[in-house]
Amino acid sequence: MYMEIATFVPVYQHLNMQANKYINIANLITLCRIFCLPFMVVIYEIPSIDIVSKSLILSIAFIVLAATDWLDGYIARRFNMQSAFGAFLDPVADKIMVVVCLLILLDIGLIHYWAALIIILRELIISALREWMAQIGSHKKVSVRYIGKLKTTAQMLSIPMLLFSPAVYHYFNSYHNVWSNIANFSMYIAVVLTIWSMMVYLKDALNN
């Protein structure tokens, strides 16, 4: 029996070490961000909730989830929890969140289809590019750059503003045009940065 326990302990320790590579507080926060996104879709699809209430709920939810994007990164750096799994998972969570909200905005009619299409296609192209570069051992050539972070920031600012537009129209009608113009302008900036960052990544990949 003691021999069996002695044999089991190293195996348990090995499995625990492997699990710790993937499961930590920072990664759990990122996973929670992903798991919360379907609830945003469910809330939007509930017919008994009016568009103003949906606007309030979805915009607040987006802001909270976007804040967790900063939080998981801070925790990972502060407590030395950075991992390859976290580096993979965090941008995936961001992309899913952006795509989900873009589709909601598109269905409401608060965003032009071409803007949503450009952003979504960019994410697909860059994801495929990174996968290809990883297969040939050059994935670091298309690692996250400053322009990519700037693009993400612009998207994280413009999307909640657009989601909040119906609530602004209802509660602050006299300011709706100003709010709408600022929100749309922010989205146009996000689209420009989306195209620019894609060209930078493609240029890096081709040059290397």
* CA distance linking residue 179 with residue 165, whole number of Å: 7
Share of the chain above pLDDT 90, in %: 54
Residue 192 confidence (pLDDT): 94
The model's pTM: 0.82
Cα separation values, 155 from 30, 60, 93, Å? 18, 15, 14
Percent over 70 (pLDDT), the chain: 84
What pLDDT, on a 0 to 100 scale, did the predictor assign at position 198?
87
Which residue from 86, 90, 89, 158 is spatially nearest to 119, judged by alpha carbons?
158
Question: Residue 10 and residue 8: Cα distance in Å, rounded?
Answer: 6
Q: What is the pLDDT of residue 142?
A: 54
Other CB atoms within 10 Å distance of the CB of residue 71:
15
Give the CA-trace dihedral at 166, 168, 172, 176, to 10 degrees. Answer: -90
Q: What torsion do the CA atoms of 101, 104, 106, 108 make, to the nearest 10 degrees?
A: -140
